[in-house]
Structure 1
Amino acid sequence: MDNAYVTTPFGRRAMSLEMLASQQQAEEIEPGVTRNKWKLFRAICEARPALGVTDRALTVLDALLTFYPADELAEERGLIVFPSNTQLSIRARGMTAATLRRHLAVLVDAGLILRKDSANGKRYARRDRAGDVQDAFGFSLAPLLARAVEIETVAAQVVANRELLRAAKERLTICRRDIAKLIEVALEEGVGGDWVMISAIFREIVGRLPRAARVDDLTNVLDELAMLREEILNLLNKNNNFNKMSANESQVERHIQNSNSESISDLEPAFEVKQGAQSVDRGGQTNGPIDSRDENLNSGGDVGTGERRTKRSIDEGGGLKSFPLGMVLQACPEISNYGPGGQIGSWRELMSAAVVVRSMLGVSPSAYQDACSAMGPENAATVIACILERGGHINSAGGYLRDLTRRTENGEFAIGPMLMSLLRANSPVGRKAG
């Protein structure tokens, strides 16, 4: 074997433990392992940042591979190439000798090639009478074959991450375009709603994107934008349904005796009228269930309209949706003070802080356990964070949590409207307006 023993560098170049480890790794090539040298070189190019080599160093490696006589790297054929500096410089696009030496050192330090120096430092091969190479001195490509599986795995991961990043950027671009155009049409058509505030929230979310965004950064922002787009669509659909109802009533010339049959809440943004949002947005003073018939009596509407509105709210509910941790902490910054070290970085830390806040707010363990069973532990912790944020407006946190638990079991409560309300209140624009 060409690499069956340890070889030290010629001249003033010092030996290192890393070089020794690379030589030992190069000896661990599995029998019969082969790789196409150009496919392996492409994988090295893909994995270049993880391998710690420069593009100029890869140019030198490309030149070295051209001196290997076959396309398949195989231990049986020998893995030593021995070009002169002149020939290597020509195939490396005319690279100067000093630059060539520097990038050869980079390849050696990265563990992609090994030096096998002769007694006088020259590169050559000793052949037998039949012309076969008996021994060669130069650069060993054995590390490429020994690390082939590792290099291919890293390259595949780099390609997959690049595809994930590309797909996330595409979805983010489409979502941003949708929101911008939906806000524009709402302003042009005069749809009721605080579109200035919605535009400010949109700009604030987009403004949190770093210049060199990673997949996690894009995913977190995309989740928030997707929820904002959903709320805008709900608001536009509500206005569209109202217009259709008015047109139908005009067409059949239906005479309405009660001029107060529709509540003003039907014209407010969707994240204030969806299920469960009424008690929070109105200050949370009510600890018991809110009867839709009482609400219609107070607003001057008929009982039938209230029942239809309540049924529609239940049909839209479904299961509780979990929201990104970053959005919860932005909407409820007070909960971070009760996390380890005064900050929260995971759902586990949020749930631990919620247990502390639960005790502080006077919520019984049984009430919190019931909320966890009905909503899930993450959503229950989110609700505790919201109650803490609106603590000055809620008389009994325990009673309020039990009411939300009952509403969740009946499919009448969603966390989204509560979070959006607090998100607007705690945004820079919302604080300035307040």
Structure 2
Amino acid sequence: MQLDHITTPFGRRTVTYAMLADQMTAAEIDDDASVDKWKIYQALCEARPRLGITDRALAVLSALISFYPKSELAAGDSLIVFPSNAQLSRRANGMAEQTIRRHLAVLVSSGLLIRKDSANGKRFARRSRAGEIDEAFGFSLKPLLARAEEIAQLAAEVEAERLHMRRMKERLTICRRDVLKLIETALEEGAAGDWLAVQDEYRAIFADYPRKPTLEMTTAALEAIEFLRENILNHLESQIKTAKPSGNAHEDERHKQNSKPDSFFESELRLGKKRGADCDPVDRNDVEPEIMDIKSTASGVGQGAAIGHSGRQSDNLAGFVRQPFPLGMVLSACREIRDYGPGGAISSWRDLMGAAVVVRSTLGVSPSAYEEACAILGPENAATVIACILERAGHINSAGGYLRDLTSRAERGEFSLGPMLMAQIRANGTGERRAG
């Protein structure tokens, strides 16, 4: 290693280990290394979010690069530019010199430039009688050449993330359109089901969806709306199959639908308010159980930021064994449960339910309370509730009493699991996020 390339800054500026490491790395460049200066600059513009530099700092760097006379940065050249702040200001569209000095310091601390200061801190070059530069003092562009491969890789990753985010947003837009039009069609055709509640579920998914969401927030919203769309389609499919006329040409037989379509909604609302209330027997006998349900899991993509939800569900819905939410969505909302899985990871519902048993004991939830929750909610959803309670353990005085209360509300049709998951996903979005 050529240690004569190690320099320290002029005046009160201090030198750090990171600056020394950047200079040592720049001294180890291969002799035949070279890169187009504007291509590496374009890669820097792409990788800017990963490098932690601003667009104004990149404007100053662009001005500096323009003072280098060659189109390529080669290891055999000195790669030092030495314009004054006044010259930089003119190349940077009149940027104030104080602003230029601040952004130069950012570029140096980011490891994209190296200062090579003269004895008096001035930037200049000594030339030979032939006019060639013998020694120059200013800013070295060698870090750009030394980190060319790293910068190109970061730029490729940022571009891939941008494309992935665009595709996710496109899928989300299409899915939102599908759900809205399906609900509109169901209302116009008078399809059985509490479609106003489904509309509420749709609105709840995007209640706190920001204008500029992160990839994690977009993924969570997409999983929730796809889950809702799937259940709507399953419900409508069951109705279409039930209403399909007989194919026998010799019989004038058609499916007999309920002559009072509005009575279903009325009885559903009545049942949601009071258990055991009298209802029209025609409604109970003529409507199949799967028709009286929008696969009640659809109501799991619920509303509100609080744990728990008062929804419009009948006793038929409350007694329905609900399908579990996607495991990825559950793990995105409940991260602490992973530590209790086999080997500190959860890869299946079996792992999650096993971890929930361990957490149940840790939280002091009695076996009877957990068994009752499994019977009402289903084993997967009961495990999901335990995982959510673990996330909020510091805010809950009695985990066992809280679980019994949620189970009782679910039995009455006053609680759905979706709002709990969505609230926790939004809470995770405001805290520490996964890299990448």
SS at match of 1:191: coil
Amino acid at match of 1:146: A
Cα distance in 2 between the residues matched to 1:382 and 1:147: 49
Does the C-alpha gap of structure 1 residues 212 and 120 become closer, same or farther in structure 2, counting only changes over 3 Å? Answer: same
1:229-260 Cα deviation digits (max 9, x unpaired) = 111112222222333326x468831499xx99
Partner of 2:9: 9
Amino acid at match of 1:100: I
Partner of 2:326: 323
Q: Is the 8 A contact 2:235 2:294 kept in 1?
A: yes
Partner of 1:213: 213
SS at match of 1:143: helix
Amino acid at match of 2:241: N
Partner of 2:196: 196
1:360 and 2:358 are equivalent in the alignment: no
Cα distance in 1 between the residues matched to 2:170 and 2:26: 43
SS at match of 1:76: coil
What is the TM-score normalised by the length of structure 2?
A: 0.65
Q: Is the 8 A contact 1:339 1:353 kept in 2?
A: no
Greater share of helix: 1
1:50-91 Cα deviation digits (max 9, x unpaired) = 212221111110001011111111111221111222222211
Cα distance in 1 between the residues matched to 2:367 and 2:243: 48
Shift of 1:182: 0.5
Partner of 1:426: 415
1:401-429 Cα deviation digits (max 9, x unpaired) = xxxxxxxxxxxxxxxxxxxx999752499
Partner of 1:252: 251
What is the TM-score normalised by the length of structure 1?
A: 0.65
Partner of 2:121: 121
Partner of 1:241: 241
Cα distance in 2 between the residues matched to 1:321 and 1:79: 61
Q: Is the 8 A contact 1:197 1:424 kept in 2?
A: no
Shift of 1:7: 1.3
Please list, as runs of the form range in 1=range in 2, the aligned pairs for 1:249-328 lying within 5 A after superposition. 252-254=251-253, 264-265=288-289, 267-269=291-293, 271=295, 283=319, 323-326=326-329
Cα distance in 1 between the residues matched to 2:386 and 2:60: 62
Please list, as runs of the form range in 1=range in 2, the aligned pairs for 1:378-393 lying within 5 A after superposition. 382=380, 385=383
Unaligned stretches of 5+ in structure 2?
Answer: 259-281, 298-315, 388-409, 421-436
Amino acid at match of 1:70: K
Cα distance in 2 between the residues matched to 1:132 and 1:63: 23
Shift of 1:42: 1.0
Cα distance in 1 between the residues matched to 2:290 and 2:113: 72
Q: Is the 8 A contact 2:81 2:138 kept in 1?
A: yes
Cα distance in 1 between the residues matched to 2:64 and 2:163: 31
Please list, as runs of the form range in 1=range in 2, the aligned pairs for 1:78-117 lying within 5 A after superposition. 78-117=78-117
Partner of 2:178: 178
Unaligned stretches of 5+ in structure 1?
Answer: 274-279, 286-319, 369-379, 390-420
Cα distance in 1 between the residues matched to 2:286 and 2:92: 79
Percentage identity across aligned positions?
Answer: 43
Does the C-alpha gap of structure 1 residues 91 and 283 become closer, same or farther in structure 2, counting only changes over 3 Å? Answer: closer
Cα distance in 1 between the residues matched to 2:338 and 2:84: 67
Amino acid at match of 1:76: G
Count of residues in Structure 1 that have an aligned counterpart in Structure 2? 339
Amino acid at match of 1:172: L
Shift of 1:192: 0.8
Shift of 1:132: 2.6
Amino acid at match of 1:360: P
SS at match of 1:106: helix
Please list, as runs of the form range in 1=range in 2, the aligned pairs for 1:35-46 lying within 5 A after superposition. 35-46=35-46
Q: Is the 8 A contact 2:59 2:92 kept in 1?
A: yes
Partner of 1:396: none
Cα distance in 2 between the residues matched to 1:220 and 1:266: 27
Shift of 1:346: 6.3
Shift of 1:3: 8.1
